[in-house]
Amino acid sequence: MHLTDSISILPKTHSTTTKRLQSVGIQTIGDLIQYYPSRYVDYSNFTTLDKVQPGDTATIRGTITAAKNAYARRITIQTVMIDDGTGTLKLTWFNQPYIVRMCAVGLTLAVAGEIEKKGTQITMKPDEYEIIKDTGPGTHTGSIVPIYPQKKGLTTRLLRDKIAAVLPSIDPREITEWLPPDVVRAEQLMSYAETVMTMHRPKDMEAATKARTRVGFDELLLIHLSNALVKKQWDAQKVTKPLHLTPQIQTSIEKFVSQLPFTLTSSQQHAWKQISEDLQKARPMNRFLQGDVGSGKTIVAILASLLSTLNGADVLCMCPTEVLANQHFVSFTKLLAGIPNLKIELVTSTSNKKSSKSKAASISSKIPLVMVSQSALSLVEGNYDTSRLTTTNSPAIYIGTHALLTDAREFKNIGLVIIDEQHRFGVSQRAKIKERGAHSHLLTMTATPIPRTIALTLFGDLDISTLTDKPVGRLTVKTYAAPEEKRESAYRWIEKQITETKCQAFVICPRIDEEEQEEGKETIVSMRAAVAEAARLQKDVFPKLRIAVVHGKLKAAEKEQIMSDFKNHLYDILVSTTVIEVGIDIPNASIILIEGAERFGLAQLHQLRGRVGRGNKQSHCVLFTSEYVATPERLNFFAKTQNGQELAEFDFRERGPGDIYGTAQSGTSSLRIANLFDYALVSHTKELAEKLLERGLTAEIKSRLATIQFGSIAKD
């Protein structure tokens, strides 16, 4: 059997299993043996029944003396008795009638699990079992047993069987070493061939650890090599539209900054310096701007856009939600009102004429001296025909959602592409928006703090700027993890605050409708749904206050209208799902109550908390867990911590990288074994990747890189 052989040659394998293997990327025998276990269980402790004690984890081998099915209400109970010569063991399974069929009296059965005792009878509910013909270790018992990731209907037991079936027929010489010999020696690594074989059949836990160390090292090194190659390729490009910071443009930007209604923080000034220097280079900028909630990323993006448009080049700014796109449209339009001949256009999927007219009226009446292009006004009035338009010589800033990807016009004058909250877009969407501004500068932004090791791996091909300061005058949001018995007093306090200070409040619920219950995850009783909660609060809790509800199932125009009305203080309380997580700027909202807080990651809670504290009033965040759920320690940590970076690091340790950036949209899906918590190793492999690239990649490294895929913005 060869590594390049198709898995269709696997013996005793149903076509359904073959399709399932293919659905997780296993096409060949080589792919199969590189599908590594996530952990191991030590079932190597073969012992006899006269030596075991209750609570021991042991592997017992004995002769089957009886096997039968028993029937109870809605369940079947399988009971098998084995005798190992020193005693008898009673084995029990539930709803697995095939076990009785396979356990013929007289066969030898090996089982592994925790020993129990009922009276004088030794019992076990086996974790693993198998019929064996000799005294050696089996596939599922009597050894260090691998536990594989279970996906697409593939069980760890099935994967163990299939891999065990092919390993003996694999010639280890086919598993070629891809790292240079000097690197393997210097790093004291297990050889690649030995690693692959050991990952599935380690002789002991020490060997398993060494093999996992090699695989993790490889994963980190490969992603760093991939990042370094992408960065090298990116640096070799030339921008189509060069940008210059001439004395005249410098003066215009300085005048613009001096007239802002606020002072730039030191970190904003530093980030702008880095970005402005990048924008003047012949190669495209590929910079990632991260900043805590409320740190002021938008004004930095506006400055970058201003430099582009003052050079006569257009800007594309893509946002993940229509709410955020509208928010940016208003911010850009308001702050850039005094720039002559500048067009700012909003491109979203909203086409409701009536609500769009009210939006146009709101924009025109509330922002003085707004220089909005006629096409932008046509858009918000619902008369926008993109098929008739092409870009002109007048610089423009196009702000929109994914609708920018399907807009009919050709963008030929793009100097800068901005992607806000980039991780919320899929790989293909990010690739398309970058294609629309090919060979232009790229600025990506996020308010989600990134742990250091994530930044070094997933965003290793990007230059990173970080905003660490909050605008002058911003007050810390006081946060409370409140026990359920404090709920009524919290309600009365909120009512008092709204009545006396005329502030507004958010109430966040994790679900939309009670019918959206997810089987096995939550009960209707345990989660408060936004629609039902709004009705309950209006009727039973705050009958004298004005309450609205908003969620993702509303049409964009409805959602926008409710948000606009809330901002204009037509409502006192807005009950919402996490649709308000980003892009909402309501300075008068100073209270946010979050239901089911234990269900959110700390990064998301931090985003939600950032919806308040944007005005000059002291703001408060109140956390309630689902009913009957005790307050987790991490919520107490969140209540005490305002620093987004610290929260991200804590969340990363507790929940893993998948909760920070979904693996479908980042490189974490390729990091199955690597320890991203090991900053020293992440840094070391990054340095090694740069050295290997500098001295020239071998054919083996290039071949290995060709077999992997990592999803980062630049690689899209």
Written as six digits, the tokens of 473 are 């005058």
Which residue is it, tokens 């994914």?
Answer: 402
User: Which tens digit of pLDDT belongs to each residue from 285-302?
Assistant: 989 998 877 788 999 999
The residue with greater pLDDT, 423 or 303, is 303
Question: Which neighbouring-strand residues pair with 446?
Answer: 290
pLDDT of residue 656: 61
| Mean pLDDT value of segment 428-446 | 71
What number of other Cβ atoms are within 10 A of residue 17's Cβ?
Answer: 18
The distance from CA 279 to its chain's CA centroid, rounded to whole angstroms, is 29
Residue 384 has pLDDT above 90, yes or no: no
Structure confidence at residue 407 as a pLDDT band (50, 70, 90): low
Give 393 or 703, the one with higher predicted confidence: 703
Chain mean pLDDT for the chain:
83
Q: What is the pLDDT of residues 663-698, one digit of tens each?
A: 333 334 457 788 777 888 999 999 999 999 999 999
Q: What is the pLDDT of residue 534?
A: 93
Interval 610-623 mean pLDDT:
89
Euclidean distance between the first and the last CA atom of the chain, given in angstroms as a whole number: 36
- pLDDT at 393 (0 to 100): 60
pLDDT at 428: 53
Question: Is there a contact between 443 and 417 (Cβ–Cβ < 8 Å)?
Answer: yes
Collapsing DSSP to helix, strand or coil, 38 comes out as coil
Lowest mean pLDDT among 21-25, 354-358, 417-421: 354-358
- For every residue of 409-470, DSSP letters joined together read S----EEEEEEETGGGS-HHHHHHHHHHTTTSEEEEEESS---HHHHHHTTTTSEEEEE-PP
For the cut 80, the answer to whether the pLDDT of residue 15 exceeds it is: yes
Residue 604's pLDDT band (boundaries 50, 70, 90)? confident
**How many other β-carbons are positioned within 10 Å of the β-carbon of residue 654?**
14
* Tens-place pLDDT, residues 565-577: 999 999 999 999 8
> Is pLDDT larger for residue 321 or for residue 318?
318
Higher-pLDDT residue of 360, 39: 39
* Structure tokens belonging to residue 356: 């769009």
CA 551 to the chain's CA centroid? 21
Task: Provide φ and ψ at 608, rounded to 5°.
Answer: -65, -45
pLDDT at 474: 74
**Range with lowest mean pLDDT among 374-383, 579-588, 602-611:** 374-383
pLDDT tens per residue across span 236-249: 888 888 899 999 99
Pick from 132, 103, 460, 416: which is nearest to 278 by CA? 416
Q: Check whether 626 has a pLDDT greater than 70.
A: yes
Buried b (16+ CB within 10 A) or exposed e, 672-694: bbbbbeeeebbebbbebbbebbe
Residue 715 has pLDDT above 50, yes or no: no
pLDDT digits (tens, 9 = 90+) for 82-104: 999 999 999 999 999 999 999 99
Residue with tokens 């959110």: 600
502 CB contacts (<8 Å, ≥6 apart)?
569, 588
What's the average model confidence in pLDDT over 63-80?
93
Joined together, the tokens standing for residue 103 give 């356990």
Quick: pLDDT tens for 506-536. 999 876 544 444 433 333 333 457 888 999 9
What is the pLDDT averaged over residues 260-270?
92
Question: Between 406 and 177, where is the model more confident?
Answer: 177
Residue with the bigger pLDDT between 408 and 467: it is: 467
DSSP reduced 3-state for 102: helix
The answer to whether the Cα torsion of 8, 10, 16, 19 is positive or negative is: negative
CB 398 within 8 A of CB 386: no
Q: What is the pLDDT of residues 1-13, one digit of tens each?
A: 899 999 999 998 9
> Quick check: 468 pLDDT over 90?
no
pLDDT at 660 over 50: no
| Per-residue pLDDT, 583 | 57
What's the pLDDT band for 148 if we cut at 50, 70, 90? very high
pLDDT level of residue 65 (50, 70, 90 thresholds) = very high
Highest average pLDDT, of 135-139, 414-418, 515-519, comes from 414-418
Cα 362 to Cα 357: distance, rounded to the nearest angstrom? 8
d(CA 51, CA 28): 45
CA 276/CA 279 separation, integer angstroms:
5
**The overall pTM is greater than 0.75:** no
Query: Residue 635: is its pLDDT beyond 60?
Result: yes
Tell me what the mean pLDDT of segment 211-224 comes to: 93
Q: In terms of pLDDT, which residue wins out, 363 or 630?
A: 630
Question: 72-109 in b/e burial notation, b at 16+ Cβ within 10 A?
Answer: eeeeeebbbbbebeebebebebeeeeebbeebeeeebb
Q: What is the pLDDT of residue 670?
A: 57
With b meaning 16 or more CB within 10 Å and e meaning fewer, what string describes 320-353? Answer: bbbbbbbbbbbbbbbbbeebeebbbbbbbebebe
∠ CA 250-262-560, rounded to 5°: 105
Pick from 507, 505, 470, 494: nearest CA to 642: 470
Alpha-helical runs (H) found in 502-550: 530-536
pLDDT at 256: 94
Whole-angstrom distance, CA of residue 573 vs CA of residue 23:
46
